[in-house]
């Protein structure tokens, strides 16, 4: 299926950390929070850091965002 990733389960485990970064004000956006987690080596995968942050922030936005 197009658009699927083998990292969804591990990315979902990071959702509480994403929420905490956003609600605390430490991250200004979903992508900012994802980038912080990538920089802390918490995001799985061998892709470039920017691509991992995009993947995580997109999944978070789709499944958890309240600004829809």
Q: What is the DSSP letter of 38?
A: H
pLDDT at 68 over 80: no
In the chain, domain spans? 8-64
- Joined tokens for residue 68: 């829809």
User: For position 30, what pLDDT does the model report?
Assistant: 96
**pLDDT grade, residue 6 (50/70/90)?**
confident
| pTM, rounded to two decimals | 0.87
Tokens 């991992």, residue?
52
In this predicted structure, what is the pLDDT of residue 1? 42
Tell me: pLDDT of 5 over 80.
no
- In this prediction, residue 2 has a pLDDT band, given cuts at 50, 70 and 90, of very low
Specify whether the CB–CB gap between 29 and 52 falls below 8 A: no
What is the token pair recorded at 5?
């990733």
Contacting residues for 48 by C-beta, under 8 A, at least 6 apart = none
Computed over its alpha carbons, how large is the radius of gyration of the chain?
A: 11
């Amino acid at each position: 299926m197009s658009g699927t990733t083998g990292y969804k389960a591990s990315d979902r485990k990071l959702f509480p950390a994403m929420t905490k970064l956003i609600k605390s004000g430490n991250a200004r956006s979903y992508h900012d929070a994802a980038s912080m987690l990538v920089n802390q080596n918490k995001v799985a995968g061998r892709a470039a850091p920017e691509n991992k942050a995009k993947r995580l922030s997109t999944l978070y936005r789709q499944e958890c965002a309240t600004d829809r």
